[in-house]
Amino acid sequence: MATADDLKFQEFDDAANLLAANPDATTISIDEPVEIPKNQHSRLQEPGREEDDELLGTDDSDKTELLAGQKKSAPFWTFEYYQTFFDVDTYQVLDRIKGSVFPVPGKNFVRLYIRSNPDLYGPFWICATLVFTIAVSGNLSNFFIHLGKPTYHYVPEFRKVSIAATTIYAYAWLVPLALWGFLMWRNSRVMNIVSYSFLEIVCVYGYSLFIYIPTAILWIIPQKVVRWVLVVFSLCLSGSVLVMTFWPAVRDDNRRIAVATVATILLLHALLAVGCLAYFFDAPELDIPAPIIPAHNGTTVITKSH
């Protein structure tokens, strides 16, 4: 039968021996709570701090972005290089479209919506949709204006698609290219000018054209007053996006140069809208007198060309 000494735990004996040798040693009881370091205690008290750091852009998130920016980019002839330009989701595209239709006074479109992640997905499809909208709406407008005239024969003008595509895409790419080159040139002369990348400028111009898609649909209404009111309204919305984005980039420059730059941006934007309305919807119809062709039965046939 086991004695009382056999039922003792060896660990307790060792602890007793250590206490006898060093009476000042610190002991920890199982019942006493373990002290949590201050940094861990603050983390436990703020469970959402990590998420807030990412949203507010603290040091941790800034380091992450810096490390992400140091990654080696793919060569321009590979598919991965161009894939980065379309790396956006539906919510980001809708948010940027909403920002171009409802601009926030005093807010920069690039800083508020693009956030160093410009895309070509939205601008490309906005321009493509605008091209077909203008071409189809222009044909329908011409059809409704002459509807009921016995001498009118409707013929769809497919050339309007190519003309609209050339105009829209040339504006959405060449004007940003010229503006980017101008800002780079002024940045080399005036050091405190805000500079945008070429993709950021293309992104701003592409999303600023979205308001013209519903406007082009409403241009089918055969009333010139309504059409010009829609043009002015669209210019105010899309033009304000461009002004609030590019004015901070040139306001520290020479006052005349800054005002002339913004005025040129608005002038080119207005020429695009007015030119599309004048050519595709308000183009005058030229009535050319057709020759009289005698028929074999003694009657005459009069043809009318437009």
- CA separation for the pair 20, 14 (Å, rounded): 10
Q: Has residue 25 got a pLDDT over 70?
A: no
Place of tokens 């020429």: 271
Per DSSP (E only), the strands in 17-121 are: none
Model pTM score: 0.67
For the beta carbon of residue 254, count every other beta carbon within 10 angstroms.
13
Q: How big is the chain by its Cα radius of gyration, in Å?
A: 35
CA distance to 55, 84, 244, 289, per residue, from 155 (Å): 56, 43, 43, 19
Residue 1's identity, in one-letter code, is M
Chain center to CA of 36: 47
Q: Has residue 63 got a pLDDT over 80?
A: no
**Residue 23 confidence (pLDDT):** 56
**Residue 248 confidence (pLDDT):** 86
For the beta carbon of residue 278, count every other beta carbon within 10 angstroms.
13
- CA separation for the pair 253, 106 (Å, rounded): 19
Residue 3's identity, in one-letter code, is T
**Tokens representing 218?**
């409403």
* Percentage of the residues of the chain whose pLDDT score is greater than 70: 63
158 confidence band (pLDDT: 50, 70, 90): confident
Of 225 and 49, the one with more pLDDT: 225
- CA separation for the pair 207, 126 (Å, rounded): 7
If you average pLDDT over residues 89-109, what whole number do you get?
88
Highest mean pLDDT among 7-16, 78-87, 120-129: 120-129
Highest mean pLDDT among 9-18, 142-151, 283-292: 142-151
Q: Has residue 29 got a pLDDT over 90?
A: no
Q: Which residues pair with 292 in a beta bridge?
A: 302
Helix (H, G, I), strand (E, B), or coil: what is residue 195?
Answer: coil
Residue 267's identity, in one-letter code, is L
Average pLDDT, the chain: 74
Of 40 and 271, the one with more pLDDT: 271
- CA separation for the pair 171, 270 (Å, rounded): 12
Question: Which ranges constitute the DSSP H helices of the chain?
Answer: 10-21, 38-45, 49-56, 59-69, 79-83, 90-101, 109, 121-145, 159-189, 198-208, 212-218, 224-250, 255-280
The per-residue pLDDT for range 112-130, each reduced to its tens digit, is 888 778 889 999 999 999 9
**Residue 164 confidence (pLDDT):** 92
Residue 54's identity, in one-letter code, is E
Among 81-95, 98-112, 119-133, 261-275, the range scoring the smallest mean pLDDT is 81-95
